[in-house]
Chain A
């Protein structure tokens, strides 16, 4: 005979505003085996939790039902709060908020709350007392992506004394931040503040840096991921290369430099940018002649360090790690999608990142602001914010950083070209970070930038000018600006490869391709799948401080995980009986590879891998698989109560 206590939460007015919580408690006490019921304003508060504890002791309760918000919110809170009094699996949540009060308005909501709670009482009565499963943890982390977020996460974990493998697909770490000129709002030189961190990564004894490499396979589970990494052939031994540049001098192949968005040439053997880490050359096998050495081979002859090896093959590395931080970064939305801005085909219409390179002293123009079409100094620039962002036709979300960097662009432009004129088309100015609003005010007032509220309607070329037509919606007047250069603050989108990484990790991405966090407010840096964390723009557009903060947060989660002797795992895992006939249905469909076959072809579960999704339970044609506390009989009883 169970002794069940029912605790109904008001959740302020969230529940009590719609559901008659008193009535729920009154109805529930009439149920068989329910020996106590009550309501409280905020069950999750300290006094609320104490109330539950007191009543468990007073009424010798062995089961508890809390009618409140979603179990994904506070199930753990309540189970932890009562762990020393009752088995955690004898406590269940009846969700009468998300599944009731938030979606209904009428009186029926109370009726529904009663039914949900009664059904949960029915379930908890036959719940087994379970103990968590213990699993080992490999104290080594994998960080995917070597931008500022990945760098920060790797450094933090490594500094805590744990090994880190940092995988970057480009020949150098640094990511987008390495391409920026100055950073808002302090106008620090981006490269100058990033380079020391990049060097720290290279020198850190706990970090194994794998550049020009990609993760190609991941299996396993929290604490025990098996990772397969492909190292693309660089054709240059990074340990021997001294970055003297002799090879580059003799190379005869000239191609556009991707780092400069093709606005500067590079050789087939190149170093992506002077501060690159590792400071070593790389051969681009697509354009190199020497991969067929009989045709060229000049660089190998010129290399005194003997670092060049045309016979390098892709190398596959297997690693076992306990946690994974995903920091795959961002890309810009393709300007060719913007039909309204002439598909961005005109040479004098460029993206914000191209403008960053133009402003950079190391960039293609050594910091001169020019019209790409004729190389002359640009005197008049139109900046267009929200190019592709906040636009249902393109990306509906705010890209978060464009207001700030566009202000920075305008300011830097005025510093470079003192008699220049800058116009900024904007929808709203969003300057929510520390000192951001002040920065915008400074740009507007001191630099005399013309802010025009509105989106340009038409952009076209007239002679050597780009004409931008639009409406200043504050003045209600149409404007027409003949500009030398137009800079589009393009929407931020996830890297193309992010979806491949998501597939490998079996984690969810949202409708725009950003990684989906376990909870938008309370678990913003972790995936639903345990042991996987997110940092930087892979999760959503964000600025450098936010990326660094999220990276440190992800790192601290990893460190916290590694500080445990063993990890605990939910014991709700598929249990196999002995009626298996070897039809393999469960084996085929298990999304976590948690089912194996014995020598007789019969299926058994691997509990460390099982996530308790229950797919196999539903699919097993002979009813041989059970999920504890989700048994058919329990579910049938719950349905019966609901249909009463």
Chain B
């Protein structure tokens, strides 16, 4: 019997839906063993269609995107009810991803920046008519409903996806690599015998010599980020920014402690200088996981 699957998008960019195409011809194999019962991005389904389904009738529901609005949350809960297995698909559902950076700001600040005071808007106004409520903070899927499995990545890279789909269709939920990206990094052998970071440089400002990015003073999160993507970014000469999530807690906190211990500025003052030269600490280390780092948003300064 074919497995019934569903795919839904919450607050996301749509990249996750497209990413399914990344498995190329293997998609045909996939379609031969599944029935798609709900996928608003690709086919015409309405909320009512889903509501009418029997509870637990969907075998696997994939949810991509984060929980930003009341509607996202409601759909997550509904899918949870209708599906035997709920999978957080992609970085937004898993860790909040780039849009999770919004948890650094309050709702008013966000609306102000988007609808009122920005360079391309004049006479703007905040839309309010019959729209789902915009939640005070962005949430990850697992903070709203129980999640059975996670497929990381922004969007999930093809090798990860293949592995995940094969496993899930066989009822397995434990399919993630348990090592960090350094393990499969093509630049691993260029790691020096001694590594002391004396200056942090930005990627675009360095004439890349092909060695380990950290050895060149460029922040690369591969040492704390889950492997499995086959180092697609590194292969394209771009350092890892951590979309696959961490092995031991958040990849951002792990990378910070690792990089901090590698910084050598001779004395404390100089080390402070090196650390302060890191541009946009949250955006660098928690690009994909701010919603995990700040699940309740930013704590108000009480002073």
- Interface residues, chain A, with chain B CB atoms under 8 Å away: 579-585, 588-589, 601, 615, 618-624
Contacts and interface: CB of A to CB of B under 8 A. Distances in A.
Contacts of A581: 179-183, 223, 227
Contact of A584 (B191, B224, B254, B257): B191
Interface of B: 178-183, 188-189, 191, 194-196, 222-224, 227, 246-249, 251, 254-255, 257-258, 260-262
Contact of B254 (A589, A601, A621): A621
Given A621-B223, A623-B247, A585 B179 contact: no
Contact of B195 (A579, A584, A620, A622): A584
A493 to B, nearest CB: 22
A588 B262 contact: yes
Contacts of B188: 582, 601
Contacts of B255: 621
Contact of A622 (B194, B196, B248, B261): B248
Nearest to A624: B248
8 contacts: A583-B258, A585-B262, A588-B194, A619-B262, A621-B180, A621-B257, A621-B258, A622-B180
Contacts of B195: 584, 588
Contact of B196 (A584, A588, A615, A620): A588
Of the listed residues B194, B222, B224, B261, the one surrounded by the most CB atoms of chain A closer than 10 A to its CB is: B261
A618 B224 contact: no
Contacts of B182: 581-583
Given A582-B188, A585-B223, A622 B179 contact: yes
B261 A585 contact: yes
Contacts of A588: 194-196, 261-262
Contacts of B260: 619
Contacts of A624: 248
A579 B227 CA distance: 12
Contacts of B248: 620-624
Given A581-B223, A583-B222, A619 B179 contact: no
Contact of A621 (B191, B194, B224, B227): B224
CB-CB nearest 3 A-B residue pairs:
A623-B248, A621-B224, A583-B223
From A579, A615, A620, A624, name the one whose CB has the most chain B CB atoms within 10 angstroms: A620
A391 to B, nearest CB: 27
A588 B192 CA distance: 9
A622 B242 CA distance: 13
B261 A618 contact: yes
Given A579-B179, A601-B188, A585 B227 contact: no
Which of A581, A588, A618 has the most chain B CB atoms closer than 10 A to its own CB?
Answer: A581
A621 B248 CA distance: 7
Contact of A619 (B189, B251, B258): B258
A601 B196 CA distance: 19
A585 B191 CA distance: 10
B274 to A, nearest CB: 15
B262 to A, nearest CB: 6
A619 B257 contact: yes
Nearest to B197: A588
A580 B222 CA distance: 13
A138 to B, nearest CB: 28
Nearest to B251: A621
A622 B257 CA distance: 11
Given A582-B188, A621-B257, 17 more contacts: A581-B180, A582-B182, A583-B182, A583-B222, A583-B223, A584-B195, A585-B258, A588-B194, A589-B262, A619-B257, A619-B260, A621-B180, A621-B254, A622-B223, A622-B224, A623-B249, A624-B248
Nearest to B247: A622
A621 B196 contact: no
Contacts of B251: 621
Contacts of B223: 581, 583, 585, 621-622
Nearest to A623: B248
B258 A620 contact: yes
A10 to B, nearest CB: 40
Given A588-B195, A621-B223, A579 B178 contact: yes
Contacts of A584: 191, 195
A583 B247 CA distance: 13
B183 A582 contact: yes
Contacts of B179: 579-581, 622
Contacts of A583: 180, 182, 191, 222-223, 258
A622 B253 CA distance: 11
Contacts of B261: 585, 588-589, 615, 618-619
Contacts of B194: 588
A125 to B, nearest CB: 24
Given A588-B196, A621-B223, A579 B262 contact: no
A579 B247 CA distance: 9
B198 to A, nearest CB: 13
A164 to B, nearest CB: 34
A588 B260 CA distance: 12
Nearest to A601: B188
Nearest to A600: B183
Nearest to A617: B257
Contacts of B257: 618-619, 621
A621 B262 contact: no
A251 B106 CA distance: 87
A589 B191 CA distance: 14
A438 B179 CA distance: 75
Nearest to A582: B182
Nearest to B222: A583
A411 B227 CA distance: 81
B254 A623 contact: yes
A622 B224 CA distance: 6
Contacts of A589: 261-262
A615 B260 CA distance: 11
Nearest to B221: A621
Nearest to B180: A581
Contacts of B180: 581, 583, 621-622
Contacts of A620: 248, 254, 258
Determine which residue in A588, A589, A621, A624 has the highest number of CB atoms from chain B within 10 A of its CB, and name it: A621
A627 to B, nearest CB: 15
Contacts of A621: 180, 223-224, 246-248, 251, 254-255, 257-258
Contacts of A585: 223, 258, 261-262
B27 to A, nearest CB: 31
A585 B181 CA distance: 14
A596 to B, nearest CB: 12
A589 B214 CA distance: 14
Which among A579, A582, A618 has the highest number of chain B CB atoms within 10 Å?
A582
A619 B197 CA distance: 14
Nearest to B261: A619
A589 B260 CA distance: 10
B288 to A, nearest CB: 15
Contacts of B222: 583
A499 to B, nearest CB: 15
Nearest to A622: B247
A360 B183 CA distance: 71
Contacts of A615: 261
Nearest to A615: B261
A589 B257 CA distance: 12
Contacts of B246: 621
Contacts of B249: 623
